[in-house]
Structure formats: structure tokens, C-alpha cells
Structure 1
Amino acid sequence: MSVPFPDAWYLILSSRLIPDLDGGYTISTLARAQQMADAGAPALLLTVDPASEHAHAEHRAEFVRRGAAAASEVFRNLFDEAVGPDGGAAGWLREAARPGEADPSLDYRSVAAGTVDLPNVVDPHWHLSTAPVVVRGAAGTALGVIDGFGALYRAWLTHVVAGLRAEIDRPIVLICESRQLGELIVDWDDPDARILHTVHTIHLEPPFTADAPINSLWERWLAVAPRFDAVLWPTARQRDDVRARFGDDRVDVVAPHGIPKPDGGALVDEGPVVVMGRVAPGKRVDHAIRAFARVVAERPGARLELWGAGPSREALAELIADLGLGDAVALRGVTHDPGAVLDSAAVYLTTSAFEGQGLALGEALAHGVPAVAYDIRYGPRDLLADGGGILVPDGDEDALAAALTRVLGDAALRRRLGTEARAAAEALRPERAMHTLAAAAAEALSRPTRR
């Protein structure tokens, strides 16, 4: 795959990347980096979580083992790079520090082999605190402080970029994958860096209607979003909802996450209905189980497989037992081969209360698996606009059961929906995703930064 990306250094900034944590966020962030590399625009994956260097190395090795990353060298972490050759703070940290002391009213924790003391700010908006971060030398002596997490993160970005430019002087395109980080780096004063900010999830609170309350974590981000050089929305519907409610003073780009087309795969007539994703309240897997009790009453041989892990597993197991569905519904746990699961499925089912894009649904379409989905914000309506599945009213378990029974009982309908599913998935091909990203980068670089 060759895509005309502008000549630039590409960075992908994420809060953390840990195997089997943060669900679709981690999967899509790693996939974006892999697809950029395949398109001829390799990116560095930058993280700021303060785990140990050993833990970071293990995470990276696991991603490489799974094929989710090409090599460990594409990852860099702030706290891995906080330690200098003498065992004290690295040079960039020393340069960023000013004279000062810890805040005596706060507890601190030591990280990065004792070179950094982070304040423990007990506040949902902790990342905005300017509480002093203490920088220490090799003997543990305090060398000074940095004013908060934002200043720390921006100092590291400046250090990373300086090293890249010393190698080849190019502009910087930074793809920010985290709203909290976006709020902090929007004040980064590098005039030759452009920030493209991605979106991974919904901005609304229940009942998730267009006029529903805004999630408090989004309010501040939406206020600064016009300063990013582009905002990449996973669906047109979310972009349109935001523009209708908050205006169009951002550079808004519809940029779905790319999903590769699998090799092979064929329609399965006798396979199970499959649900894939985190087993958590927002996924409403209990709806799938209760609806399936109605399906089994009509089609006694039908089977439902629930793939994923999470806090709802025990409650779901009890529900399966209470409904007498032990022979029809199975909690399968985590899979590291979702393609194989989808290739065995007759129907894909999603009952989420909300999504960003719906990565698993997109994967199901790419595998030609007919889908049944609640019509929620956001994802299913966009993905199934040209066919490939059946949308039912949000929360209507009777309609869900009826749609599943209909698809399972009609081979001709399954074949038609399977063909439509593959066609619908063409819009999610990585080549398209990369062309969209390259165009957004080129447009951003063609004008002064909006910061």
C-alpha cells in the first residue's frame, strides 16, 4: 500500500498502550501505526504512563508477538527516557526544571528509577494540575520542579522532536489519541508541528440522543478543539451532531478507523451468533442473552457465543443459568484471533448502548458476516447504511430477537446480507483510511498552525 503522505515526521501520542486494556482504543491506535507504516509513513508511538521500563518492554514484546506492532523500536515512553546516563534525571528533564520544591500538602510517588516524583492529585481533572513535579539527580537530590503534567509532557515532546530534526529537519505531524493529552499539548509552542486529534468514543451522556447532556470530560476538550489542526471523527453522524450543536469552527474530517480485508472467509450456515467486545455494562450483553431466549424458543438449535472479558461476566453467567440457556449460550472469554471467531459465525450481534465507530462490527462486515445491531450513536447506522445487516430500535429486545430469528432462518437473506457486508466494509479499507489521513496532514501542513 503506497499513499502520498507529506514528507514529515509522524508521531502518535497515546496515554498508554497495554495488551488487553482499553479495548478498541488500544487496537485502533496500534492499527493506525501499522497501516501508516505499510503506507510509507512510519510513526513513532509515544506514551506517557509511568510504569516501569521493564513493564513497557514486556508490553511491546507482546504486541510484536501478536502482530499488532512491527517492532519494539516504534515505541517510546516519557518515563523510560527520564533517566540519564548517570542514573539521575536526563538532560531534557534538567533543562525543563526550574528552582522549586514539592507541594507539602500533597503526597508524591517516585517513578523512573527515582528521577521523578509525581504529585498525587485526587481530582478527576488531575491532568490539568500545575502541582510541581520534582526532578532528582543521581544521589536523589532535588534539582528543581516542572509545573504540572502538561509542562512535563510538552517538555518531552520538545525533546523527542529535537532529536528527530537533528537527524532530518522535517515538519512534525502529531496524531493525538487521547482527549486529556490533547487538552495539555494544545499549548505546545512548536510552530512547525501540526496536531491531528482523533476521536474514539461518544461525547454524550445517557440517553445518548443528539441533545443529551455532554460528558463532562468532553466539555473542556470541545472548547479547545478549534485549536487542533484537524479533528478526525470516526463517523459522519457524530461529526454532524457536533457541528449542529457546537458550530463548525473546527477542521472536522470524517476518518473511520481502517479495517483490513481478511483472506478467505465464507458464509457459514450452521455457525453461532457471535458477540465480541468488553463484557461491561455499556455493552448490554444481558440484552443479547434475554433476546436469545426468545430465539431459542423458535429455533432450538441456535447458539450464542459471547467473546470478551470484563466486570459483567459473573452477572451474565448467572443470567444464562437463570434462563436455562446453558446449552445455547457460552461465555468464551478473550480471543486473540477474532478473525477465526468471525469466520465461524453465522451472524454478528451488537447490543452496545453507545460506540465510537464499532470496530468489531466493522471486522464482522469485512468477514462477510451478516449483522444485527441496535440503532445507537455511533457506528451501526453509518456502517450498515448500504446494507450488510439489520438495524433494530435501540433497546427493543423483542425486535432484536425477531431480527435474529429471521436472519438465522433465511439462508437467502444471509447470503444477500453477507455480500452486502463485504461491500460495506470497502469503505473501511486501510488504503482509504490512509488516503484520508494523508490528505488531512497535507491540508494541515499547507497553512499555519491553528494553535
Structure 2
Amino acid sequence: MSDADFPDAWYLILSSRLIPDLDGGYTISTLARARQMTDAGAAPLLLTVDPGDADAHAAHRRTFVERGAAAASGVFRNLFDEALAPDGGAADWLRASAHEGRADPALEYRDVAGGAISLPNVIDPDWHLTTAPIVVRDAAGDSVSVIDGFGALYRAWLTHLTAQLREKNPRPVVIICESRQLGELIVGWGDDDVRILHTVHTIHLEAPYRPDSALNALWTRWFEIAPRFDAVLWPTAQQRDDVRERFGDAANDVVAPHAVRAPAAVVPTDDRDAGRVVVLGRLAPGKRLPAAVRAFARVVAEVPAARLELWGAGAQRDELEALVAQLGLAEAVTLPGLTNDAGAVLDRAAVYLTTSAFEGQGLALAEALAHGTPVVAYDIRYGPRDMLAAGGGILVPDGDEDALVAALARVLTDAATRRRLSAEAVSAAATLSPARAMQTLAAACGEALSRPRRR
């Protein structure tokens, strides 16, 4: 699949959780990166730290394998699955990392890992930073020791896991951290043979999402530590450039878009439903779907055969159904629900529409390009401007409903325009191919390993 030359190392992809149909594009792109690395010969492990039970984790892994999102269940490792010893108490590595102490009487606790661990219930947006004691029990169920907070727990597991791997082969270790919270906790962890590359999945700005807008509060602290990572992987050049202009050039930032696999063949424009417009994503406020429905009412007035499908699930479903009924669009706008075959949806569509207020990159837009589906998109941060720079769709000023309606009507009524945009889309998607993504990632890993660690 790829001629990417990954350095000889252990590769660990670290995520907070990976659960089917949860966390939208984050889960899809994280799994895709792991699968693409496996196909390129890097053989990463997928690490998670969510405290679900082992049976639930096993079910999640089976689902991912059945869907083709993961190569095998064996690529997954979970902290809490490995925190339970065969005798029923905490595993040796966890006991060795703990010290004498007791639970905080001011906090509520919940038992996980078969009762071997009790986690404090910390009600705070920055819960991950707490040093509240985590209780570690022996096989008899007695509280024997504590570990000081989630960060200490996660780092203890990583230390144990990397030691295990190095017993098999004393290679360097590359951590690809997919979570901001985890990045904050491990930025100072590791020895001279550990490198940490941190990915970015979302926007760092608050509304109105301009380069000088207020930072999202969750990212403020992260930007202070970002130069300490061995590389930061930005999904778009526009976001990387905005960050450089604001914070300076840290010399460790790389543009590494999330990749999508192209279909074996692109469905010709003339074989598609000429009136079908599709949206793929969460039914959430940030997608601005009520505004999309209102704009589509105007499209239908101009193009009576036009139909809009809003694929996905989310909190706004009831609101959207009510709006469709209120506007008398029941025959023109439908909400089919979730799909596990986005490609089949895109292959039938004449247009892919996105009206999001913001994105990290826009994975569904990338898939649309790969399937040769013309795109109509608002010019938002981040994604559409980068991905449509070489064609494949029509970019309209953010929030300009008149321009959006005109663009949709034009593409729906002009077969020649659809054919041209479809051909451009396939060409544009080549920059988002797994082969290109793996070459970029392999080069970033090689560069990080070629110099001393930044931490």
C-alpha cells in the first residue's frame, strides 16, 4: 500500500478511549491511522485508558475488526484490562508503582478492574490533572496502597508496557498521542529512547473562529507545553499557519492530514441520483444543520427534484425533524440515521454538503473527494480551504446563505459542472491517500528519532 520507510521502533498509538460509533471522526481517524501504519509495516499497538470492563473492551474490538477498522483484536491494549492480576488483585506493575496511603474521605470512589482499583470521582473539567489518591487492592480485597492521580497511573502503565516490549527487542519507542488530556500528562514522561508525537483532531479557537479569536480553554495549557513534544501533527496547513503566526515557529510542527482510502472505482456522475445531496456527521449544533435545512428549502424552490439526506445521530435529531415538518419538507429532507458504509452513501450522491461552523479537518469531506462526490462547503476553519484548493467542489463565504443556495442549485442542475468537479475531487483526494499520509508520518518519526528528545 505504501512505500513509507518507518524507522525500526516500537509504535504505540495512545488514545483516551475507542468505542464504536462514539466520538465521531476522532475514533474513525485514530483507527484508520493504526490500520494504515499496520499496512505500511509499522505494526503499532492501540492503547486506551478508559475504565470499561474487559468484556466491553473485547466487544468493541470485535466490532472494529468486523467493520474492517482494525487489523486484529490483538493490536489493542487497555490499562484497566492489564491492571488486574490473575489472582484477582492489582497487577504486580501497579502494586510496584503504588505507595502507602488511603482514599480521600472527601471524595466518592468507584471500583474498576474487578475491584482491584478504586478511582476517585473528581467533578472538574481538569479531572485528569488531579493527584487525588487512586486505591490499589490486593487479591483479598484489602486496600494496600495508593497511586497519586491519573497521570501517575497512566505513566506507570506506559513504563511497564514499554519495558515489556524492550525485553523482546531493545528498540526505541515512538508514542503517537491522540488525546490532548493524555498529552498533558505524559509530555515529561519517558527516557532518551522514547519520542512523543502529538496529533491534533480539532480546532483550537472559540467563536467566531478567526486566527485571533480566544483560545478554547481546554487548549490554553496545551499550547504552553506543545514545544516539548517531539512533533505536533496538524491536520491542515491553515491551522498550522494560524498557530505559527500566533505562537511562533516551534520547529516541531508537521502538516499531516488524516487519510482516507479511495474506492476501487469511482461511480460515474451520470450513474448517480442527480438531485441527491448528502450530509454525513453528528447531528450537533456545531454542524449548523438547522441553517442547512432552511437553505435547502430555497434550493427545492429552484430545483424541485432536489433531496437532502442528513446521515448521522445526535442531540439535534428531534429539533431537525420538527423543523423539516414545519417547513413542509418531509418529501425533500430525510434523516436516515447512522451508517457504517459512508462510501455507499457518497456513491449515490450528486453533492456532499457541509455547513459546519468549524472542523478539525473534516473527514467526511475527505471521503467525499475520494469517492468523486462534488462538495459544496462554507469556507471555515479548518479543512475545506485546504482540501478544495485544487478543485473538487465550491467553497462559499462562511454563513453566506445566498451563495450556498446558488452553489447547490448550480451543481444540481449542471451535469457538466458535476462531471468536472467529480474528476477534480478524485485528483484532490490523492493528497489525502494513506500512502501519502504514511510517508509523512514515517518522515516525522525518522526526524524525531534522529535528534535528542525535546522533553
Amino acid at match of 1:242: V
Structure 2 letter corresponding to 1:32:
R
| Number of positions where the alignment pairs a residue of Structure 1 with one of Structure 2 | 451
Q: Which moved more, 1:150-159 or 1:393-402?
A: 393-402
Aligned to 2:191: 190
Equivalent position of 1:397 in the other structure = 401
How much does 1:250 deviate? 4.8
1:15-94 alignment runs, 5 A limit: 15-94=16-95
- Equivalent position of 2:372 in the other structure: 368
1:329 aligned partner: 333
Q: Which residue of 2 aligns with 1:431?
A: 435
Q: CA deviation at 1:191?
A: 1.9
Runs of 4+ off more than 3 Å: none
Q: How far does the alpha carbon of each residue in 1:362-400 deviate from its partner, in whole angstroms, 9 at most, with x for none?
A: 000000111000000000000000111011111122211
Q: TM-score scaled by structure 1?
A: 0.99
Residues 96-245 of structure 1 aligned to structure 2 (within 5 Å) = 96-245=97-246
Distance 1:226 1:270 in 2: 49
Structure 1 stretch displaced more, 267-276 or 244-253: 267-276
**Which of 278, 281, 285 is equivalent to 2:289?**
285
Gap change, CA 1:189 and 1:149, over 3 Å in 2: same
**2:187 and 2:168 mapped to 1: Cα distance?**
25
- The Cα shift of 1:300 comes to 0.7
In structure 1, the residue matched to 2:390 is 386
Q: Which runs of 5+ in 1 are unaligned?
A: none
User: Take 2:384 and 2:64, find their aligned partners in 1: how far apart are those partners?
Assistant: 28
Contact 1:271 / 1:344 at 8 angstroms: preserved in 2? no
CA contact (8 A) 1:290 1:397 kept: no
**Structure 1 stretch displaced more, 244-253 or 167-176:** 244-253
- Compute the displacement of 1:203 (Å): 0.1
State the SS of the aligned residue for 1:253: strand
Q: Percent identity?
A: 72
Q: Offset at 1:189? A: 3.2
Question: Any conservation in 2 of the 1:272–1:302 contact (CA below 8 Å)?
Answer: yes
Are the aligned partners of 2:275 and 2:305 in contact in 1 as well (CA < 8 Å)?
Answer: no
Which residue of the partner structure matches residue 324 of structure 2?
320
> Do the aligned partners of 2:274 and 2:350 also contact (CA within 8 Å) in 1?
yes
**2:115 match: secondary structure:** coil
1:395-416, Cα deviation, whole Å (9 max, x unpaired): 1222111110011111111111
CA distance, structure 1, for counterparts of residue 33 and residue 388 of structure 2? 22
The reply to whether residue 311 of structure 1 matches residue 315 of structure 2 is yes
Any stretches of 5+ residues in structure 2 without a counterpart? none
2:273–2:348 contact (8 Å) kept in structure 1: no
Amino acid across the alignment from 2:332:
A
Residue matched to 2:10:
9
Q: Are 1:173 and 1:194, in contact at CA under 8 Å, matched by a contact in 2?
A: yes
1:112 Cα deviation from its structure 2 partner: 0.4
**Are the counterparts in 1 of residues 159 and 190 from structure 2 also a CA contact under 8 Å?**
no
* Cα distance in 2, alignment partners of residues 4 and 116 from structure 1: 41
- Aligned match for 1:295, one of 299, 322, 326: 299
Shift of residue 103 of structure 1? Answer: 1.0
Q: Which amino acid aligns with 1:447?
A: R
Query: Retained in 2: the 8 A contact 1:106–1:120?
Result: yes
Return the letter of the residue paired with 1:67.
G
Q: Does structure 1 retain, via aligned residues, the 8 Å contact 2:236–2:255?
A: yes
Residue 356 in structure 1 maps to residue 360 in structure 2:
yes
2:324 and 2:228 mapped to 1: Cα distance?
49
The Cα shift of 1:146 comes to: 0.7
SS in 2 for 1:95: helix
User: How far, CA to CA, are the matches of 2:412 and 2:33 in structure 1?
Assistant: 35
Q: CA RMSD in A?
A: 0.8
Mapped to 2, the partners of 1:16 and 1:213 lie a distance apart of 28
Contact 1:269–1:411 (CA<8 Å) still a contact in 2?
Answer: no
Say whether the 8 Å CA contact 1:231–1:250 is kept in structure 2.
Answer: no
Structure 1 Cα separation of the partners of residues 130 and 393 of structure 2? 47
Residue 269 of structure 1: how far off its partner (Å): 5.0
Determine helix, strand or coil for the equivalent of 1:82: coil
Q: Find the aligned partners of 1:319 and 1:17 in 2 and give their Cα distance.
A: 33
Q: Superposed, which structure 2 residues align to 1:409-424 within 5 Å?
A: 409-424=413-428
CA distance in structure 2 between the partners assigned to 1:314 and 1:265 by the alignment:
34
Q: Is the 8 A contact 1:200 1:356 kept in 2?
A: yes
Structure 1 residue corresponding to 2:274, chosen from 265, 270, 274: 270
Q: Normalising by structure 2, report the TM-score.
A: 0.98
User: Does the Cα contact within 8 Å between 1:101 and 1:134 map onto a contact in 2?
Assistant: yes
